[in-house]
Structure 1
Amino acid sequence: MSNYIVFDLEWNQSAAGKETSLDHLPFEIFEIGAVKLNEKMEQVSQFHRLVRPCVYRQLHYIISEVTHVSMDELDRDGRPFKEVMEEFMEWCGEAPVFCTWGSMDLTELQRNMVYHGMEIPFASPLLFYDVQKLYSLTFSDGKTREALDEAVKLLNIRMDAPFHRALGDAVYTGKVMACLDMKAVGDYVSVDYYRIPRCPEEEIVLNFPDYSKFVSRGFASKEEAMKDKRVTDMVCYKCRRMLRKKIRWFSYGQRFYLCLAACPEHGLMKGKIRMKKAEDGSIFVVKTQKLVGEEGAEFVARKKEEARVRRAERLKTKKHGK
């Protein structure tokens, strides 16, 4: 029986700017709100707590304007983060399925837990539902990311609580989730990247109806990552056949790579690699593979030509610069 935990966080940041932020705690949580849904997407319980800040003791002006929270209120009604988090996990119950609007909340929750010396109790890999993505898959192109208040308006959900407060946003997210056909989009789980795989055996492979995702372990550099066979192999996610590359991996931009491969049975497949920085400073890879038609193949070929032209221009500029 599913135990859906739809939660939202409100957090503060350094009022003096990013340069004064703690390296591994850019955002300090001051509010946790959540609703528990049953398999029928009916709300069966609520959770709401304020957290007393101990790192950023002045509210950033934007946070104050958006949430209408004051530091006096947090000092008066807030409780220590560790105490609130322990209550939250007990309230979540066994095997919770976390659901959030967007992909940041679980990462920031874990960062705050580590800062406060707490062990992370979540499974690894940590899979969750990004309701914002599921909403886009249902009502848009799967790529657009709508703001929560806009989604609520478009679905004609009654607005009886302010936005940008943790419990209200969790309630609204749960109501949006109730409007979705989970049988149609329930396969599209998201993976949290706060804790990346530590070794090849832990690397993550997720197969979805129309694409696949691979999450690597950490590497010292993107050049080292691109030497790894599991990173650069193209394998058809439908028949598991190793594929021949028609266009080999090439870089476009500083963090992205593309390639084009061919499956004799299923056709052309585009590969895309995103280089991401892990919490420990290492580089890890998120590789997606998707079947494409001629238009998708032409896109890859065009990007390769653009990359070739840019590379030639850089070499020419470097030569003349000497």
Structure 2
Amino acid sequence: MKNYIVLDLEWNQSVGGKEETVEHLPFEIIEIGAVKLNEALEEVGEFKRLIRPRIYPELHEKILEVTHMDQKTLMEEGRDFEEAAKEFLTWCGDEAVFCTWGSMDLTELQRNFAFFGIPNTFPKPFLYYDVQKLYSLLYGDGKERQSLDIAVLELGIMEERPFHRALDDAHYTGRVMRYMGFEKVREYWSTDYYRLPENKAEEVYLVFPGYSKYISRPFETKQDAIEDKTVTDLICCKCNRMLRKKIRWFSVNQKFYTALGLCPEHGNVKGKIRMRRNDDGRVYVVKTMRLVGEEDVREIYIKKEETKKKRVEKTKNRKQNKKKGDSPLS
């Protein structure tokens, strides 16, 4: 039987800032909280463990302010992370479907796994439900993200328990899932990017209602990524047809690229590439293909022209500055 594991973590960080942050562990988990929901989204179990910090033993002032944790209690009652994590994975069971508020918790959990030498048994690709994103799809524009406490207030499901502790936030996230109309957005999985495809054969292609997503293997440079044919192919998210490009890939800031294709059956398809870096500094690509209307098409044309004008102006200024530098009177 499928179990939904609604997870929330609290973590600590270096009180000395970036200079004293340990490489590959910016956040050390100090509390794991989770609730287990059945297929009817009813709460059927809970898990809570305090974890004794070893890498950042002094609690950061921001963590103290938000969580109101007691440093002495945490050090005396907290378990080692290795012990708590193994207990948590056993409690989750074999058919766990993870749900979180936001995208950070599962990434930081796996980062702590790696640092403390715990085998990562999560599947690849690792699909989960980002309840914050799903809530935005149902009650917002699908882009802006709402805080958990506001969502709870909007749904009228507040209880006599606080926020900003792991088990409490997991409980509230589970209640949001139950009352927000989860069935309407069940198809919209999120993908965790901590463990990326290691080669071309492992690259991910997922199809959702109205759009598709491609996740590449890592490349050494952005140029290597943008020169890869699979990265720059425009594919219809409905029929998987290779598309003719109406507007070729262009970029405003070298992080986001946009293109427009035309499917003879389904119409205009917008391609969007996001360039990201993994922990070892290499570049990977998240590409989405989405059906768009005439208004979106006009916006793409306008953005393309604005980008072209800026590029021409930049080139013109560079040539003028070069002439000034070459002038004997300068």
Distance in 1 of aligned mates of 2:311 and 2:234: 25
Quote how far apart the aligned CAs of 1:104 are: 0.4
Alignment of 1:19-58 (within 5 A): 19-58=19-58
User: Per the alignment, in what secondary structure is the counterpart of residue 320 of structure 2?
Assistant: helix
User: Per the alignment, in what secondary structure is the counterpart of residue 138 of structure 2?
Assistant: helix
Moved more, 305-314 or 165-174: 305-314
Quote how far apart the aligned CAs of 1:181 are: 2.5
2:12–2:27: 8 Å Cα contact kept in structure 1? yes
TM-score in terms of structure 1 length:
0.98
Provide, for residues 246-293 of structure 1, a one-character-per-residue CA deviation record: whole Å limited to 9, x for no partner: 000011113100000000111001000000101222100000011111
Distance in 2 of aligned mates of 1:120 and 1:128: 16
Name the counterpart of 1:16.
Answer: 16
Gaps of 5+ in 1: none
Name the counterpart of 1:142.
Answer: 142
1:252–1:258: 8 Å Cα contact kept in structure 2? no
Name the counterpart of 1:306.
Answer: 306
Provide, for residues 138-165 of structure 1, a one-character-per-residue CA deviation record: whole Å limited to 9, x for no partner: 1121112000000000000122211110
Quote how far apart the aligned CAs of 1:317 are: 2.1
Cα root mean square deviation, aligned? 0.9
1:221–1:283: 8 Å Cα contact kept in structure 2? yes
Aligned CA distance change for structure 1 residues 23 and 302 (closer, same or farther; 3 Å): farther
The AA in structure 2 aligned to 1:161 is R
Gaps of 5+ in 2: 323-330
Distance in 2 of aligned mates of 1:7 and 1:268: 39
Quote how far apart the aligned CAs of 1:311 are: 1.2
Distance in 1 of aligned mates of 2:237 and 2:25: 37
Distance in 2 of aligned mates of 1:201 and 1:96: 26
The AA in structure 2 aligned to 1:61 is E
Distance in 1 of aligned mates of 2:254 and 2:233: 20
Name the counterpart of 1:93.
Answer: 93
Quote how far apart the aligned CAs of 1:38 are: 0.2
Name the counterpart of 1:111.
Answer: 111
Distance in 1 of aligned mates of 2:190 and 2:243: 26
User: Per the alignment, in what secondary structure is the counterpart of residue 32 of structure 2?
Assistant: strand
**Aligned residues with identical type, % of pairs:** 57
2:210–2:238: 8 Å Cα contact kept in structure 1? no
The AA in structure 2 aligned to 1:230 is T
Distance in 1 of aligned mates of 2:71 and 2:299: 51
Provide, for residues 224-265 of structure 1, a one-character-per-residue CA deviation record: whole Å limited to 9, x for no partner: 101111100011121121100000001111310000000011
2:237–2:291: 8 Å Cα contact kept in structure 1? no
Alignment of 1:56-135 (within 5 A): 56-135=56-135
Aligned length: 322
1:129–1:188: 8 Å Cα contact kept in structure 2? yes
Alignment of 1:191 with 2:191, yes or no, is yes
Distance in 2 of aligned mates of 1:241 and 1:254: 27
User: Per the alignment, in what secondary structure is the counterpart of residue 265 of structure 1?
Assistant: coil
The AA in structure 1 aligned to 2:260 is L
TM-score in terms of structure 2 length:
0.96
Moved more, 28-37 or 308-317: 308-317
Name the counterpart of 2:257.
Answer: 257
After the TM superposition, which parts of structure 1 deviate over 2 Å for at least 4 consecutive aligned residues?
A: 180-183
Distance in 2 of aligned mates of 1:298 and 1:18: 43
